[in-house]
Amino acid sequence: MVSGDNNDRKLANVGPPYSLLIPDSSKSPNRQEARYCLSMKISEDEPRLFSSQAHIDERGSLFSLEFPNFPMRRFYYIQSSQKNAKRGFHAHKQLTQIFIPLVGSWKINLQKRESSREYILVAGQNYLQLPPGYWREFESLEEASVLGVLADDIFREEDYIRDFNDFKKWEEINDSVL
């Protein structure tokens, strides 16, 4: 049982990365008033790939992304000038980001410790949440691709690790602290 300000709620797991908060109907005077809320479980140290929700009709498309537990402090976007343009080549010590392909598609290569991962992000299909501590490299897979980025803090140069060898040293220091 999870306690809340309004009513007690039960936490029902409906599959990763979501959980359903269900108000305890015995505490509610009217069961019809019970509201259901879908909240994202946020992993603090693993990248998470999410699917976009599309609402399409004759007028066009509306894509919906919700981040109820993400404190956005900054938004920026990267626009490629050509296919296979590469960006990134850095890591963050504390910054968490959400990468949203707005136009085209992107390949995201991540490295942490001795493992590497690759994600393909496609506009209107998916997006990626990336916690701190990952070396990242981006590659546009189409001409004029645009990648939107939400960040949980403002720009701080001291949060960046821009040299891969410095990143490996930073990982060793932080692994020994854990």
Instruction: Tell me whether residue 170 is exposed, middle or buried, using C-beta atoms within 10 angstroms of its C-beta: 0 to 12, 13 to 18, 19 or more.
Output: middle
What is the model's pTM?
0.73
Fold (CATH) for 48-177: Jelly Rolls (2.60.120)
The CATH 2.60.120.10 domain(s) of the chain lie at 48-177
For the sheet containing 9-13, what is the strand order? Answer: 9-13, 18-23, 37-40
The band of 5, judged by pLDDT with boundaries at 50, 70 and 90, is very low
The band of 146, judged by pLDDT with boundaries at 50, 70 and 90, is very high
Catalytic residue among 90, 93, 107, 168: 90
Least Cα distance to 40 among 23, 21, 18, 22 occurs for 18
Predicted confidence at residue 169, as pLDDT, reads: 96
Q: Which of 63-77, 98-112, 119-133, 161-175 has the lowest mean pLDDT?
A: 63-77
| 92 is a catalytic site residue | no
Question: ∠ CA(8), CA(14), CA(15), 5° rounding?
Answer: 135
pLDDT, tens digit, 9 for 90 and up, residues 155-169: 999 999 999 999 999
